Amino acid sequence: MSTVPIQLPSPLRFLVVDDSRAIQAIVRRAILHCGYSPIEVETALDGDQALDLIETFKPDLVITDWHMPKVSGLEMVQALRQLGHQDVRVGFVTTERTPALLEEAISNGALFILHKPFDDAELVAVVANAVKDLVGEAPAVSDSTAASTPNAAPALMLRKGEEPISHAAMQLLLLGRLGNIPFRLIPHEKMVLEALTTNNLLGLYAAKDVKGVYAIAVMDANAVCMVGGGAARMLPNDVRALMATGLPSTVMMDKANEFLRAAAVSLSESAVSSATEVTMAKASVVKNTFAKLAAVLSQQGQRSDFRLAIPGYGEGRMAFFVMTS
- List Cα–Cα distances, 297 to 40, 217, 240, 293, 302, in angstroms: 46, 10, 26, 6, 11
97 binds another protein (CB under 8 A): yes
User: Nearest CA to 261 among 141, 191, 197, 176?
Assistant: 176
d(CA 1, CA 48): 39
**Number of chain positions touching another protein (CB under 8 A):** 19
Query: What is the DSSP secondary structure assignment for residue 238, as one 8-state letter?
Result: H
- Between CA 176 and CA 179 the distance in angstroms is 6
Q: Which of 4, 29, 176, 195 binds another protein (CB under 8 A)?
A: 29
Letters for 3-22 (x = contact with another protein by CB under 8 A, - = none) are ----------------xxxx
Minimum separation from the CB atom of position 287 to another protein (A)? 27
* Smallest separation, CB 314 to another protein (Å): 10
Minimum distance from residue 116 beta carbon to another protein (Å) = 6
Shortest distance in whole angstroms from residue 115 CB to another protein? 8
Contact characters 44-83, another protein, x per CB under 8 A = -----------------------xxx--------------
Please give the Cα distance from 111 to 91 (Å, whole number): 5
Print the binding letters for residues 144-183 with another protein: x by CB under 8 A, - otherwise: ----------------------------------------
Q: DSSP secondary structure string, 49-89?
A: HHHHHHHHH--SEEEE-S--SSS-HHHHHHHHHHTT-TT--
Task: Tell me which H or E stretch contains 2.
Answer: strand 2-4
Do 70 and 52 meet the contact criterion of CB atoms below 8 Å apart? no
For 208, what's the count of Cα atoms within 13 Å in the CB-facing half-sphere?
A: 12
Smallest gap from Cβ 17 to another protein, in A, equals: 14
Stretch that binds another protein, among 76-84, 110-118, 124-132, 250-258 (CB under 8 A): 110-118
Interface residues toward another protein, by CB under 8 A = 19-23, 25-26, 29, 67-69, 95, 97-100, 116-118
